[in-house]
C-alpha cells in the first residue's frame, strides 16, 4: 500500500483496534503499540522507527527465499488478472492448483502422491485430524481414534492444532485438548536428558511412545504426530536414531505416522523435507510456511496413496475450505518452489550455509552464559544457563533469559526468538556467510549485555 501513514498514528490505532497473534494486549498497550514493520529486502526488515533488522527468523519461520522477489509479485498479479479465485468444491479446480499438487508430490516422493490444500499450518493439521479418523472408520477399525503427540509440540492454534500440540499454556485457554489426544515426553536432550548418553535418551523417548500405545491399547491408536525438529518448542533436534525407533514402533502397531513439516519443509533442514533428513517415511505430511515463503497464505497436507485408496471407498470426504487450493496462492507457491529449485537453496543449505552456521555457532560456546549450541540446516538454537557446564537456568528467572537476550538482539539489529531460556534462529535460506557471522556476532554481543541484566533479576 502507499506509504501515506504516520507511524505514531498507526501505533495508536494498533492499540485502539488491533488484536495481535499470541500476545499480551495489556503489554502492547503499555508499549504504546506494536513495532510497525514497513518494508523488507533480502534478509532485512525495516521498521517505522528507521531500524534495519537482520531477519534471523525468516518472518515466522517462513520467508525461505527472502524478501523482495519481484518474480512472485508478478506471478500473483498475472494470476489475479487471469482468475483471482475459484473453489475446489464444485468438481472444479484451477491450473496452478493441479500443477502445485504435482510439484509437491514430486518432492515428497514415494507413496506421498496426493495433496489436500488449506490456507494455514493449523488447517493442514485439522485436515490430518479429520482425515485420519475418517480413514480408520472406512478401514473397519473405528476404535482407532487416539493421536499420540509430544509435550511441547506445536501443531497450530485451531482447536485440533492446540489439542495435537503439547503447549500447556495453550491447553489452559479453551479447555483443550479435545478427547483422544495423548502426550508423551519430547526428545529434548539438553533440557531433559542432560548427562545421559544422547542415543540412549532418544531410545527412551521413543520407548515412551510404545508404552503409551500399550497403555491406551494399540487397537485404539490412530496416529503418531511429530515435527521432525520441534520448532516453536525451542528448536529441539532429536538425538540420532530417534526417528527410526519411532517409525519402527508405528509400523509394529499399524499406526499412521504424521510428520508435521510446517517449519521443516522446503529446505530448512537441508533436504526438501525434514523426514528426508532423518530418513523415515511418514504417511501424512502437513506443510505450510516455506511452501510459499509466506508471500501468500497456503498450506498442504500430503497423503499416501494407501490412505487415498481407502478414502475412495467412502463417498464424499466432507472436509475443505473456501481457500483450499486458492489459485493465486498456488501460483505463487509454484513459482516459489521454482526459485528454491533454480537457486539450489536446498543443496546450499545442506552443503554450505547449514554447516557454516553450525561452525559459526560454536564460537558462542566459550561464552559463560551458553550451555549448548545446536543446529540442523538453517535452524539453530543457543541454550542460556546460569552455570557453565550445567543445564541450570537463572534462579528466579526460569524461562526469562530467552526474552532478555532476544530483546537485546533486536536492539542490536537482529530479529530472533526467545523461547524460555533458548534463543532460536531460522534465517532465510538465501542468507550469506557474512550475514551468518553478523547473526552470531550480534547474539554474542547481546549475551554480554544480558549478563548484568540476568544477575539483577
Ligand atoms: N505446525 C508447526 C510445526 C508450526 O510450526 C506451525 C506454526 N508455527 C503450525 C503447525 C501452525 O501453522 P499456522 O500458524 O500457519 O496455522
What pLDDT digit, counting tens, does each position of 199-224 carry? 999 999 999 999 999 999 999 999 99
CATH number of 35-65+345-456: 3.90.1150.10
Task: For residue 60, give the ligand 1 atom closest to its CA.
Answer: 8
Residue nearest to atom 1 of ligand 1 (CA): 155
pLDDT of res. 457: 83
pLDDT of res. 4: 83
Beta carbon of 227 within 6 Å of any ligand 1 atom:
yes
pLDDT of res. 162: 98
Three-class DSSP labels, the chain: CCCCCCHHHHHHHHHHHCCCCCCCHHHHHHHCCCCCEEEEEECEEEECCCCEEEECCHHHHCCCCCECCHHHHHHHHHHHHHCCCCCCCCCCCCHHHHHHHHHHHHHHCCCCCEEEEECCHHHHHHHHHHHHHHHHHHCCCCCCCEEEEECCCCCCCCHHHHHHCCCHHHHHCCCCCCCCEEEECCCCHHHHCCCCCHHHHHHHHHHHHHHHHHHHCHHHEEEEEECCCECCCCCECCCCCHHHHHHHHHHHCCCEEEECCCCCCCCCCCCCCHHHHHCCCCCEEEECHHHCCCCCCCEEEEECHHHHHHHCCCCCCCCCCCCCCCHHHHHHHHHHHHHHHHCCHHHHHHHHHHHHHHHHHHHHHHCCCEEEEEEECCEEEEEECCCCCCCCCCCCCCCCHHHHHHHHHHHCCEECEEECCEEEECCCCCCCHHHHHHHHHHHHHHHHHHHHHHHHC
| Comma-separated ranges of CATH 3.90.1150.10 domains in the chain | 35-65+345-456
Using the structure block, give the residue that is written with the C-alpha cell 551468518.
436
- Work out the pLDDT band at 160, boundaries 50, 70, 90: very high
- Work out the pLDDT band at 398, boundaries 50, 70, 90: confident
Task: For residue 231, give the ligand 1 atom closest to its CA.
Answer: 5
| Comma-separated ranges of CATH 3.40.640.10 domains in the chain | 72-342
Give the span between the Cα atoms of 47 and 38, in whole angstroms: 5
Q: Residue 123 C-alpha to ligand 1 middle, in angstroms?
A: 9
Give the span between the Cα atoms of 53 and 45, in whole angstroms: 5
Q: Residue 334 C-alpha to ligand 1 middle, in angstroms?
A: 20
Does residue 337 register a pLDDT over 80? yes
Give the span between the Cα atoms of 346 and 343, in whole angstroms: 9
Q: Do strands 221-226 and 256-259 pair parallel, antiparallel, or not at all (unpaired)?
A: parallel
Beta carbon of 288 within 6 Å of any ligand 1 atom:
yes
Determine contact, residues 147/224, Cβ cutoff 8 Å. yes
Beta carbon of 127 within 6 Å of any ligand 1 atom:
no
- Work out the pLDDT band at 245, boundaries 50, 70, 90: very high
Task: For residue 121, give the ligand 1 atom closest to its CA.
Answer: 12
pLDDT of res. 253: 98
Which of 62, 156, 167 is the pocket-test mutation for ligand 1 (most atoms within 8 Å of CB)?
156
Beta carbon of 231 within 6 Å of any ligand 1 atom:
yes
Q: Residue 326 C-alpha to ligand 1 middle, in angstroms?
A: 19
Give the span between the Cα atoms of 85 and 83, in whole angstroms: 6
Does residue 102 register a pLDDT over 80? yes
Burial of residue 318 (CB within 10 Å: 0-12, 13-18, 19+) is exposed
Beta carbon of 339 within 6 Å of any ligand 1 atom:
no
pLDDT of res. 400: 86
Determine contact, residues 71/62, Cβ cutoff 8 Å. no
Task: For residue 299, give the ligand 1 atom closest to its CA.
Answer: 15
Beta carbon of 263 within 6 Å of any ligand 1 atom:
yes
The model carries a pTM of: 0.98
Mean residue pLDDT of the chain comes to 97
Q: Residue 155 C-alpha to ligand 1 middle, in angstroms?
A: 5
- Work out the pLDDT band at 58, boundaries 50, 70, 90: very high
Asked if the 72-342 domain carries CATH number 3.40.640.10, the reply is yes
Which of 121, 163, 268 is the pocket-test mutation for ligand 1 (most atoms within 8 Å of CB)?
121
Does residue 163 register a pLDDT over 80? yes
Does residue 283 register a pLDDT over 90? yes
- Work out the pLDDT band at 71, boundaries 50, 70, 90: very high
Beta carbon of 419 within 6 Å of any ligand 1 atom:
no
Amino acid at each position: 500500500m502507499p506509504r501515506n501513514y504516520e507511524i505514531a498514528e498507526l501505533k495508536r490505532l494498533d492499540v485502539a483496534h488491533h488484536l495481535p497473534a499470541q500476545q499480551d494486549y495489556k503489554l502492547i498497550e503499555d508499549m504504546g503499540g506494536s513495532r510497525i514493520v514497513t518494508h523488507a529486502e533480502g534478509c532485512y526488515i525495516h521498521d517505522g522507527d528507521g531500524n534495519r533488522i537482520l531477519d534471523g527468523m525468516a518472518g515466522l519461520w517462513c520467508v525461505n527465499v527472502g524478501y523482495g522477489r519481484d518474480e512472485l509479485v508478478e506471478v500473483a498479479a498475472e494470476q489475479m488478472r487471469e482468475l483471482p479465485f475459484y473453489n475446489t468444491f464444485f468438481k472444479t479446480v484451477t491450473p496452478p492448483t493441479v500443477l502445485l499438487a504435482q510439484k509437491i508430490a514430486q518432492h515428497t516422493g514415494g507413496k506421498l502422491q496426493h495433496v489436500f490444500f488449506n490456507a494455514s499450518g493449523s488447517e493442514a493439521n485439522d485436515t490430518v485430524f479429520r482425515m485420519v479418523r475418517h480413514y480408520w472408520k472406512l478401514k473397519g477399525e473405528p476404535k482407532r481414534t487416539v493421536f499420540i503427540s509430544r509435550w511441547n509440540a506445536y501443531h497450530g492454534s485451531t482447536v485440533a492444532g492446540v489439542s495435537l500440540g503439547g503447549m500447556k499454556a495453550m491447553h489452559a485457554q479453551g479447555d483443550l485438548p479435545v478427547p483422544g489426544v495423548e502426550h508423551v515426553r519430547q526428545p529434548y536432550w539438553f533440557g531433559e536428558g542432560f548427562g545421559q548418553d544422547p542415543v540412549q535418551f532418544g531410545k527412551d523417548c521413543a520407548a515412551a511412545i510404545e508404552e503409551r500405545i500399550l497403555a491406551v491399547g494399540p487397537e485404539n491408536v490412530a496416529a503418531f504426530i511429530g515435527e521432525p525438529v520441534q520448532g516453536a518448542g525451542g528448536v529441539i533436534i532429536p538425538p540420532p536414531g530417534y526417528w527410526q525407533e519411532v517409525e519402527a514402533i508405528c509400523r509394529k502397531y499399524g499406526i499412521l505416522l504424521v510428520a508435521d513439516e510446517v517449519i521443516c519443509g522446503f529446505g530448512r533442514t537441508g533436504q526438501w523435507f525434514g523426514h528426508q533428513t532423518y530418513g523415515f517415511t511418514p504417511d501424512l505430511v502437513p506443510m505450510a510456511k516455506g511452501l510459499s515463503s509466506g508471500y501468500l497464505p497456503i498450506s498442504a497436507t500430503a497423503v499416501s496413496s494407501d490412505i487415498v485408496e481407502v478414502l475412495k471407498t467412502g463417498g464424499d470426504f466432507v472436509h475443505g475450505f473456501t481457500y483450499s487450493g486458492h489459485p493465486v496462492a498456488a501460483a505463487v507457491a509454484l513459482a516459489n518452489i521454482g526459485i528454491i529449485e533454480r537457486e539450489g537453496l536446498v543443496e546450499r543449505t545442506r552443503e554450505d550455509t547449514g554447516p557454516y552456521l553450525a561452525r559459526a555457532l560454536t564460537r558462542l560456546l566459550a561464552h559463560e552464559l551458553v550451555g549448548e549450541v545446536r543446529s540442523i540446516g538453517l535452524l539453530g538454537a543457543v541454550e542460556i544457563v546460569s552455570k557453565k557446564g550445567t543445564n541450570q537456568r537463572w534462579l528466579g528467572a526460569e524461562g526469562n533469559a530467552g526474552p532478555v537476550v532476544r530483546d537485546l538482539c533486536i536492539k542490536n539489529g537482529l530479529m530472533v526468538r526467545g523461547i524460555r531460556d533458548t534463543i532460536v534462529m531460522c534465517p532465510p535460506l538465501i542468507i550469506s556467510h557474512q550475514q551468518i557471522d553478523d547473526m552470531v556476532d550480534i547474539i554474542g554481543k547481546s549475551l554480554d549485555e544480558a549478563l548484568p541484566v540476568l544477575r539483577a533479576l
